[in-house]
Each structure stands twice: as structure tokens, then as C-alpha cells.
Structure 1
């Protein structure tokens, strides 16, 4: 079983890294989370499926702490989130105590189905969005 999980992880992340994510990042209304690379210091943009609720943005990572963007958040929780084509600054919080399967029920259905199908170590993430200075 662990070997199957590792193979699944490698296959899915390779597809996401080289095919799905480069295409998704170019779509103007794709939701993205932007972290700072923990080694490079460069901006790293990852397509995610989540939902804004008031001044928070919620999503679930498929691979938890194995995800590169989660490791970036651990090093620097300041992020930006693009929702509906608009960027928002915020602070990300990893919530291992939250039930990610229950959380997925409140998030966009298509993405949630993919996360459940391909994920091996689900982790809920909440981004507390900074107040909008424009109003």
C-alpha cells in the first residue's frame, strides 16, 4: 500500500507540475495561491480549488505537508490568493485538526472530487485575508 501511494503521488504531481498547472495558471479566473519559495525566494503560484467565506479563504491540499506550496507556507505563511481574477494578501494557517473530508463538502464540487480521488494526505488550509485597503 505505501508503495502504491508513493507511485500515485509521483504520477499525479508530475502531471500537475508539467501539464495541468502551467495551463491552469494562465486562465484569468483560475483560483491561485501564491507562496514564496522557501529556498529560491521566488513567487510560486499554484492552482487550487477553494472558497472565500467573509475575510477567509478555505481550501484542502491533496498531499498535505508533502506539497511544495504547503512546505513554502510552513517557511513563510504570508501568501496571496487570486479569487475571481482579483489578488488578496493574507496569512495561511495549516489546520491538521480540521476534518478535510468534511471541509471538502463546503468547497467547489469538481475540485473537491479530484482532491478526494487523488489525494493521499489531505490537509485543510485557511487563509486569513488582510482587510481591503480600498474599502
Structure 2
């Protein structure tokens, strides 16, 4: 990762962790991905933008395997997703062979624009919903 991308990553993730995510998590209709912390074992809730297609939920991580929630998925793929205020259990899968930029064109516009603007290593994630 270039020095510019590293600085951008640190600035954006610091803002998200301290300001953005705590505020957005409070919105009742915000889509939330809940993973299990790979070190703490505690639930970790991250606001995400994605779309449900049948029994699958698709999203794109802006920082790929550097994203904390992606690292948590690698340790334990059992997740929950809150969609329109309702929780769904599922199993998350990283899909590196998917064209993440093309996938963003199928997801909510505002979030996709933000991911394209700040992302440095896009990675598609699919959650197979079971409940």
C-alpha cells in the first residue's frame, strides 16, 4: 500500500471508528453487520451498505482484508445482518474473484459512491442468510 493510501486508510478508519459508526449505528433502519471479535469474542457491529438478493446479502469492503470486520469474518464466518430493522443469521464468504466495482453498481448508490471514493482495496463479501 502506498504512503498516500496508508494515510487515507488511517484517517478514514479513525473517523469511522470514533464518529461515523457510533452515530450511524443508532439509526433504526441502518443496515448493520454483526461479527464476533476475533480477539475479544464480543459482538462487533458495523454499519454497512449492501443489498439483499434472495437469501444472500452482498456488500463491498472498502479496505479488503485490512477491514476489521473482514478480519473477524476470517476468524469466524458466522454473522448476523440487520436489514430494515430485522436481524438475520448467516455465514459470510469473502469473494475476491468477484468484480467489486461492478458489484458496487448493484448496491445502494450513496454507500457505493463513498466506498469508491475512500476505498483502496475493494473486496466483495457475500452473506448466505439462514434466518
TM-score interval, normalised by the smaller of the two chains: over 0.9
What residue number does 2:9 align with?
A: 9
What residue number does 1:118 align with?
A: 118
Unaligned ranges ≥5, structure 2: none
Answering whether residue 92 of structure 2 is matched by residue 75 of structure 1, we say no
Deviation (angstroms), 1:106: 0.2
Cα deviation per residue 1:45-93 (whole Å; 9 max; x = unaligned)? 0000000000000000000000000000000000000000000000000
Cα deviation per residue 1:79-132 (whole Å; 9 max; x = unaligned)? 0000000000000000000000000000000000000000000000000000x4
What residue number does 1:26 align with?
A: 26
Answering whether residue 108 of structure 2 is matched by residue 108 of structure 1, we say yes
Distance 1:60 1:96 in 2: 10
Q: Is the partner of 2:39 in helix, strand or coil?
A: coil
Distance 1:112 1:68 in 2: 19
Distance 1:83 1:121 in 2: 25
Answering whether residue 119 of structure 2 is matched by residue 128 of structure 1, we say no
Answering whether residue 102 of structure 2 is matched by residue 98 of structure 1, we say no
Q: C-alpha root-mean-square deviation of aligned residues, in Å?
A: 0.8
Count of paired positions: 131
Distance 2:68 2:20 in 1: 16
What residue number does 1:40 align with?
A: 40
If the length of structure 2 is used for normalisation, what is the TM-score? Answer: 0.99
